[in-house]
Copies of this chain bind each other. A is one copy, B any other.
Amino acid sequence: MRSPASDIGPEANPDVDPVEEVLHRLRERGGRITTSRRILLRCLFEKGPHRTAEELAAEVQSVAPDVHLSTIYRNLDELERLGVIVHAHLGHGPATYHLATETHGHLVCEMCGGEMEAPEGFFRDLTAAAQREYGFVIDPRHFAMLGRCAACAEAVEATS
């Protein structure tokens, strides 16, 4: 029987701060542990919604005002190469970044700009069909599905 503390899940071990774990992996690759990287990683692990590079920069800068937007971009690239985060394109604006462990897709309304998350399983049949028919391996996290949300679709029907 395992200790009671470890029963709350594999990621809940208080001894392994995920931020520090990633920093260590960075160092093993020959990278350096810097303050901006630590702060950026905390932002990425802490909060909920997907954020753009600019939004992340603002959050980081509220703690360390001198961190430059280009540093954010460079570190986001690095973290993506490491497989810690991924970016997704939701509509026409800037890309958004989130943890690679979040495996949902996105539905984005092209009228109101609203975003919904769609669970991974939502795309299972489509990805299976693409695999089967074309050998194509779809990554349902990277793209947003554009269209009209329920409210906007209703509004359009009311007009016509």
Chain A positions near chain B (C-beta within 8 angstroms):
89, 92, 107, 109-110, 116, 118, 122-123, 125-127, 129-130, 133-140, 142-150, 153-154
- Closest beta carbon of chain B to A154's beta carbon, Å: 8
Q: How many copies does the complex hold?
A: 2
CA distance A37 to B140 in the complex (A): 38
Q: Are A129 and B122 in contact (CB under 8 A)?
A: yes
Q: Are B134 and A116 in contact (CB under 8 A)?
A: yes
Q: Are A145 and B134 in contact (CB under 8 A)?
A: no
Contact partner, A146, options B110, B123, B142, B149, Cβ 8 Å: B142
Q: Are A136 and B126 in contact (CB under 8 A)?
A: no
Residues of B within 8 A of A146 (CB): 138-139, 142-143
Q: Are B122 and A136 in contact (CB under 8 A)?
A: no
